[in-house]
Amino acid sequence: MSDTRPIGIFDSGMGGLTVVKEVIRSLPNEKIVYFGDTARVPYGPKSKETIIRFSIENILFLLKNNVKLIIVACNTASSVALAAIEKNFKVPIMGVIEPGVSEAARITKNKRIGIIGTKTTVKSSAYEQQLIKIDSKIKVFSIACPLFVPLVEEGWLKTKITQQIVADYLMPLKNKNIDTIILGCTHYPLLKSVIQEVLGRKVHLVDSARQVAYGAKQILEEQGLLTNREKTARQSVCFYVSDEPDNFAEQGEKFLGFALNKVRKVSNV
Ligand code: DGL
């Protein structure tokens, strides 16, 4: 049995590419359809109702592309919309919160974990609730960093201003003695080196993208949905955005390390 249908992945913009990169690594023969909702980025400051609506529209778009699995490569949508939407669709849908939580709980030694994410993700306390479910002794310190997403969308990954902004946001975490921090937004791994510099080498950064990719592989295996085609995923990623395809192609190429042959602009609403 071979299922050659693509995997669908969406985010508000560039952030989900951190997940695409790991899916290509773990599932090199799968086709991918990516949708970045660049016309409506950022999702972070928006209400739960709005994010549920956007997520449903994004899923309906991906389903038109005949996807066999959907990865919500957005922490904001995963924390406030996933539970509400997954029961309405037959296709398997996975989010990014749980993989990051398991990884952080496995890594922490002193049970003091920092979480950074968008305002909506932090307000939802989705991470906190799941971490405490695994181990009630874990202490969580959460901070919303709303300026990180526009910096990443602009490709300002290592500028002086970026370093200053990251340092200011993370200041309150510096004296909390955390040994682990969850990058609770798929955009944030692009700022990894600056975040690591600010927090110091001793703090372990959890980027859930790799765990998400392993989780996707497991679902496809369990449900008999793997492909057996030989072509590489890298050659078969279709990128769609709802605005500004050129900026997406330019920043995306820098991050993924290969040219995004064609980024198509679509209206998904
Ligand atoms: N990258 C998304 C997340 O993981 C959304 C960020 C945003 O659009 O504010 O939360």
Residue 134 lies in a domain: yes
32 with 83, same domain?
A: yes
74 a catalytic residue: yes
- What's the structural domain count of the chain? 2
Amino acid at position 164, single letter: Q
pLDDT of residue 43 exceeding 80:
yes
Can you give the pLDDT at residue 269? 58
Q: Which of 63-77, 180-194, 227-241 shows the lowest mean pLDDT across its residues?
A: 227-241
Is a pLDDT exceeding 80 seen at residue 52? yes
CB 95 within 8 A of CB 68: no
Q: Are residues 146 and 218 in the same domain?
A: no
In short, whether 72's Cβ falls inside 6 Å of ligand 1 is no
Quick check: 268 pLDDT over 70?
no
Specify whether 40 is located in the same domain as 69.
yes
Q: Please report the DSSP string for 164-229 in residue order.
A: HHHHHHHGGGTTTT-SEEEEESTTGGGGHHHHHHHH-TTSEEE-THHHHHHHHHHHHHHTT-----
Same domain, 157 and 193: yes
- Tell me the β-bridge partners of 93: 70
Distance 86 CA to ligand 1 centre (A): 19
Q: Tell the residue number behind the tokens 């037959």, with chain if given.
A: 90
pLDDT, position 78: 97
Residue 122 included in any domain: yes
Domain boundary among 188, 208, 228: 208
Can 185 be counted among the known catalytic residues?
yes
* Whether residues 53 and 107 fall in one domain: no
CATH for 251: 3.40.50.1860
In a domain, 220, yes or no: yes
228: number of Cβ within 10 Å: 9
pLDDT digits (tens, 9 = 90+) for 114-164: 999 999 999 999 999 999 999 999 999 999 999 999 999 899 999 999 999
229: CA distance to ligand 1 center in Å? 32
Percentage of the residues of the chain whose pLDDT score is greater than 90: 90
Buried b (16+ CB within 10 A) or exposed e, 36-55: bbbbbbbbbebebeebbebb
The 8-class DSSP code of residue 47 comes to -
Q: Which domain holds residue 224?
A: 7-95+210-265
Predicted confidence at residue 235, as pLDDT, reads 64
User: Is residue 77 within 8 Å of residue 55, measured between CB atoms?
Assistant: yes
Residues 29 and 86 in one domain: yes
> How many Å is the maximal CA-CA distance in the chain?
54
Q: What is the pLDDT of residue 133?
A: 95
Asked, for residue 35, whether it belongs to a domain, the answer is yes
CA of 203 to the centre of ligand 1 (A): 23
pLDDT, residue 11, reads: 97
pLDDT in tens, 208-252: 899 999 999 999 999 999 998 777 666 689 999 999 999 999 999
